[in-house]
């Protein structure tokens, strides 16, 4: 009877004994999250500005990047990076592959957020700044982006939630993140209940805190 | 190269594509129904169902898709494809519920009051007045969520369900050299890209059409 109960007490005890595995996984997840977040925001700003750039070729490059990464699955991208790089004689630790894969994928969404934010700022702002002697980049950096920030921040935080959830893709390339540890630990002893519950709670706490933060930002922005 | 482009390889890949489409199609339908029911229940503030719906949305929106897939595969007795459909429906249903709720909130409150004054009951108002207007506003975000469903269905490969991604990976395992790897992954990515790009073009076209129609 006890064996059939997925949440039997002895399974929780086994999980408690193996807590180091899960803590290690959580740390890996957080590392990937932070790395991928930095990468995706950088890419988002670069490609977001490219999306409103006067030069048509640069705008096309933005479209190619965004459409490609938004319309193919993250799983394919990460598995591709994981499998293809060794063929090109580039050896990366799996953590970096995760940061690269998730960062590139979320970067496409961030680029759309930044583009939308810039387009929400009236065009006259840029023109007025340029007429006052600002260069294009100065006007973008000092005039347009600070105004776009109010629109961008809630959407960016929303993408950050997706990013945290998407770091679980590392489980598919043995990345040692929380999802992978939960999957492999429970796969070896069949104690699925506690493993999934605990890892789910970890993701939930991170994402729920972020979504509360979004609510605060949205109130502040007056959306 | 020629050993790759053979009928049996093509059919093998298409077998996976069929599973992807099955999971995508049924998950989309179930999640739209689930999302609409919860969105309406929360809008009408039904005593218990509304609260359960809110709790469900808050829980499922904040956990990874892969966790849903794992739970559906290992903690229910369902066969692989069915468990994939269950996981994707539950996961996407929460997001759909939020989209539907946003759409319902965008319908002005006067609509509800006007219909009420005309003698319609709450359910008639939701069915005839609120939902048609709400759907009109949320078709673009809904369609872009459909592309996410098709993309995220590749997560079921993590539990060994052989959909498009899985079949592609098996093919790569059979050949295992650089050119084959690039060609196979390119083909698989292209299939996803074509479907999703078509869907997102549809969403954009619909968005423009609605923007032209709105007043």
Name the residue in chain A with its Cα closest to that of B91. Answer: A165
Confidence at residue A222, expressed as pLDDT on a 0 to 100 scale: 64
* C-alpha to C-alpha distance for B162 and A180, rounded to whole angstroms: 20
Nearest-Cα distance to chain B for A139, in Å, is 30
The band of A215, judged by pLDDT with boundaries at 50, 70 and 90, is confident
> Which CATH number belongs to the domain containing residue A205 in this structure?
1.10.3720.10
**pLDDT, position A54:** 87
Instruction: Sketch the domain layout of chain B as residue ranges.
Output: 7-213
Interface test with A, best of B54, B70, B87, B157 (most A CBs within 10 A): B70
Burial letters B162-200, b for 16+ CB under 10 A, else e = bbbbbbbbebbeeeeeeebbebbbebbbebbbebbbebb
Residue A107 is predicted with a pLDDT of 96
> What average pLDDT does the segment A16-45 reach?
93
Q: What is the dihedral of CA B104, B151, B153, B169, to 10 degrees?
A: 180
pLDDT at res. A115: 93
Does the pLDDT value for residue A1 go beyond 60? no
Structural tokens at position B211: 């923007």
The nearest CA of chain B is from the CA of A176 a distance in Å of 14
| B189 Cα to chain A: minimum distance (Å) | 6
DSSP chain A: -TTT-TT-HHHHHHHHHTHHHHHHHHHHHHHHHHHHHHHHHHHHHHHHHHHT-S-HHHHHHHHHHHHHHHHS-HHHHHHHHHHHHHHTT----HHHHHHHHHHHHHHHHHHHHHHHHHHHS-HHHHHHHHHTT--HHHIIIIIIHHHHHHHHHHHHHHHHHHHHHHGGGGGGGT---HHHHHHHHHHHH--HHHHHHHHHHHHHHHHHHHHHHHHHHHHHHT-
**Considering chain A, what is the average pLDDT of its residues?**
90
- Taking chain B, what is the end-to-end CA distance rounded to the nearest angstrom? 57
Q: State residue A150's pLDDT score.
A: 84
Q: Cα separation of A97 and A82, whole Å?
A: 7
Residues A57-95: tens digit of each pLDDT: 999 999 999 999 999 999 999 999 998 888 888 888 999
Tell me how many degrees the CA angle A80-A86-A88 measures, rounded to the nearest 5.
95
Enumerate chain A positions whose Cβ falls within 8 A of a Cβ in B. 6, 67-68, 70-76, 79-80, 83-84, 87-88, 161, 164-169, 171-172, 179, 182-183, 186, 192-193, 196, 199-200, 203-204, 207-208, 211
Contacts of B106 (CB under 8 A, 6+ apart): B134, B137
Give me the pLDDT at residue B174, please.
86
What is the domain class of B7-213 according to CATH? mainly alpha
| Residues of chain B where predicted confidence (pLDDT) is lower than 70 | 1-2, 213-215
Residue A2 lies in a domain: no
Q: Is residue A51 a part of any domain in this protein?
A: yes
Question: CB of A179 within 8 A of CB of A170?
Answer: yes
Give the CA count within 13 Å in the CB-facing half-sphere of A93. Answer: 6
State yes or no: ipTM above 0.90. no
Q: pLDDT: is A2 or B83 the higher one?
A: B83
Instruction: Report the residue count for chain A.
Output: 223
| pLDDT at residue B64, as a whole number | 93
- Whether pLDDT at A213 is above 60: yes
Residue A143 clears pLDDT 80, i.e. is over it? yes
**Distance separating alpha carbons of residues B120 and B129, to the nearest angstrom:** 10
pLDDT beyond 80 at A169: yes
Is residue A112 assigned to a domain?
Answer: yes
The pLDDT score that the predictor gives to residue A98 is: 93
pLDDT at B63: 93
Q: Please report residues of B whose CB lies closer than 8 A to that of A167.
A: 64
CB atoms within 10 A of CB B81: 17
Q: What is the pLDDT of residue B32?
A: 95
Q: So what's the pLDDT on residue B172?
A: 87
B202 in Cβ contact with B141 (< 8 Å): no
Res A200: pLDDT? 93
Q: Which domain holds residue A90?
A: 9-221
A55 occurs within a structural domain? yes
What CA–CA distances, in Å, run from B103 to A49, B14, B45, B57, B106?
A: 30, 37, 16, 16, 5
């Amino acid at each position: 009877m006890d064996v059939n109960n997925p949440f039997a007490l002895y399974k929780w005890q086994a999980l408690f004994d193996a807590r180091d595995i899960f803590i290690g996984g959580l740390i890996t997840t957080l590392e990937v999250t932070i790395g991928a977040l930095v990468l995706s925001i950088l890419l988002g700003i670069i490609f977001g500005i490219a999306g409103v750039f006067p030069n048509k070729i640069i705008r096309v490059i933005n479209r190619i990047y965004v459409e490609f990464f938004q319309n193919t699955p993250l799983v394919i991208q990460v598995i591709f990076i994981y499998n293809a790089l060794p063929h090109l004689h580039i050896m990366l630790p799996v953590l970096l592959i995760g940061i690269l894969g998730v960062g590139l994928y979320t970067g496409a969404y961030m680029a759309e957020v930044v583009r939308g934010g810039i387009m929400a700022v009236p065009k006259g702002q840029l023109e007025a700044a340029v007429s006052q002697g600002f260069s294009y980049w100065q006007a973008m950096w000092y005039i347009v982006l600070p105004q776009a920030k109010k629109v961008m921040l809630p959407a960016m935080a929303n993408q950050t939630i997706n990013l945290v959830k998407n770091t679980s893709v590392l489980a598919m390339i043995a990345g040692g993140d929380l999802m992978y540890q939960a999957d492999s630990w429970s796969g070896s002893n069949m104690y699925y209940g506690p493993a999934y519950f605990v890892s789910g709670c970890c993701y939930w706490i991170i994402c729920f805190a972020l979504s509360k933060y979004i609510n605060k930002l949205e109130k502040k922005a007056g959306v | 190269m020629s050993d790759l482009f053979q009928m049996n390889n093509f059919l093998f890949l298409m077998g996976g594509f069929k599973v992807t489409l099955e999971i995508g199609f049924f998950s989309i339908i179930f999640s739209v129904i689930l999302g609409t029911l919860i969105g309406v229940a929360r809008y009408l503030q039904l005593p218990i169902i509304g609260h359960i719906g809110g709790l469900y949305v808050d829980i499922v929106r904040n956990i990874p898709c892969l966790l849903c897939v794992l739970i559906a595969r290992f903690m229910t007795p369902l066969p692989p494809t069915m468990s994939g459909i269950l996981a994707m429906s539950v996961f996407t249903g929460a997001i759909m519920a939020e989209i539907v709720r946003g759409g319902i909130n965008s319908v002005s409150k006067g609509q509800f009051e006007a219909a009420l004054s005309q003698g319609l009951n709450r359910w008639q108002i939701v069915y005839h007045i609120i939902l048609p207007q709400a759907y009109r506003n949320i078709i673009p975000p809904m369609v872009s969520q459909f592309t996410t469903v098709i993309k995220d269905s590749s997560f079921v490969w993590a539990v060994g369900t052989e959909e498009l991604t899985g079949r592609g990976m098996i093919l790569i395992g059979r050949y295992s050299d650089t050119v084959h790897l690039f060609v196979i992954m390119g083909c698989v990515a292209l299939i996803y890209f074509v479907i999703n790009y078509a869907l997102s073009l549809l969403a954009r076209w619909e968005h423009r059409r609605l923007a032209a129609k709105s007043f």
